[in-house]
Amino acid sequence: MRIGLIYDTFESYPWREEEPPDADAEYEPVETVDILAAAVEHLGHQPVRVGTATDLRERLDRGLTLDAAVNIAEGARSRNREAHAPILLEMANIPCLGSDALTLSMTLDKSWTKDLVAAADVPTPPHRVYRRPEAVEPQALPGSFPLFAKPRYEGSSKGLRPSSRVESVDALCAEVERLRSAYDQDILVEKFIEGGGEFTVAVVGHDPPEALPALQRGVEPTTGLGLHALEHRGAPTASREWDYELRGTLTPTLEERLQTLTLRLFDRLECRDFARADFRVDADGQPWFLEVNPLPTFAPDDTFAIIAELMGRDYVDYLAEVFDRGLRRLQLA
């Protein structure tokens, strides 16, 4: 089969002068695309490197034919940006691995996602959404300080820095204004969970999906922020060497609980084939859902590659297996 690869590399971001320096943080290095192509070839199929959603639209207009597609394209600016490629593929009757356009748009919205998973009995910190600092009412905060502020429609830790953790109303108003000015969108503010560490759980497959081993993330000792939030591409703190520690203990009981919650929200949000969910654990050992990414990176140094290494698997071989499961769901294998 001819399997299209839809992706954004760092070089393809359509920069505008006024955009923040981490605007392309969700995009991928070329090495990720090479891994995707190698996994497709491992299955005996022909990878077709299409590129961005814009590239896809233009090539479809010129008669591009595909039997299926693997999409990891993030798009740009619009809160529906992650849906651009899946919609084009759907309109062209090209089956696509991964979650559909509705799930991708909805899960990019951190507020709506939290409301949906909370309704499915997945604990998530209480939150409020602010458009501007004038909307912050001291008597109606989502919880006691410390609180945490982040853009409502972004991923890959965009916008996060030490000041994202706030300890007062004045600091909160200043952070809402900083993020609103930089990202021109609503700001989600939630209770900052501390005490028991930070973890991520990936899911692959379908009917039933499989929760992979949980990975523990390092946190910066002073702020308690996850190290990835300080080191992401384009962050003003990325060039600094940060100390970190692994807070809490990943016991078998905690790992099972994290996997159960991840599978529950994977089902509730109608994710497909692959996704990754992030949690923080409080001092009492209670996990709290933070966000989910149905377009996780397959970079050769990130979550899925680390899990493959822990399982003693060749990464290309393991990723090919993940894609094969998706093709079977689509009844193409």
* Residue ranges, CATH 3.30.1490, the chain: 127-191
Superfamily (CATH) of domain 106-123+193-294: ATP-grasp fold, B domain (3.30.470.20)
Residue 207: which pLDDT band, with cuts at 50, 70 and 90?
Answer: confident
Average pLDDT over residues 66-81: 96
Res 63: pLDDT: 98
Would you say 263 and 211 are in contact if contact means Cβ atoms under 8 Å apart?
A: yes
Determine the average pLDDT of the residues in 43-59: 98
CA dist 301 and 118 (Å) reads 32
* CA nearest to 255, candidates 303, 287, 292, 299: 287
Q: What is the pLDDT of residue 15?
A: 97
pLDDT class of 333 with cuts at 50, 70, 90: confident
Number of H helices, E strands in the chain: 10, 13
% of residues, the chain, pLDDT over 90: 99
Cβ atoms < 10 Å from Cβ of 196: 20
What tokens does 189 get?
Answer: 């503010």
- The model's confidence at residue 128, banded by pLDDT at 50, 70 and 90, is very high
In tens, the pLDDT along 219-242 reads 999 999 999 999 999 999 999 999
Q: Where in the chain is the domain with CATH 3.30.470.20?
A: 106-123+193-294
pLDDT band of 268, cuts 50, 70, 90: very high
The fold adopted by the segment(s) 127-191 is Dna Ligase; domain 1 (3.30.1490)
Long-range contacts from 246-251, C-beta under 8 angstroms, 24+ separation: 246/197, 246/216, 246/218, 246/219, 247/195, 247/196, 247/197, 247/198, 247/219, 248/195, 248/196, 248/197, 248/216, 248/281, 248/285, 249/197, 250/197, 250/199, 250/214, 250/216
Four-point Cα dihedral 47, 205, 107, 201, nearest 10: -110
Model confidence over 139-193: pLDDT tens digits?
999 999 999 999 999 999 999 999 999 999 999 999 999 999 999 999 999 999 9
Q: Which CATH number fits domain 2-98: 1.10.357.10, 3.30.470.20, 3.40.50.20, 3.40.50.1820?
A: 3.40.50.20
CATH 3.40.50.20 domain locations along the chain: 2-98
Here the tokens at position 50 are 């299409």
The whole-number pLDDT of residue 302 equals 95
- Whether cis (ω within 30° of 0) applies to the bond prior to 123 is no
pLDDT digits (tens, 9 = 90+) for 278-302: 999 999 999 999 999 999 999 999 9
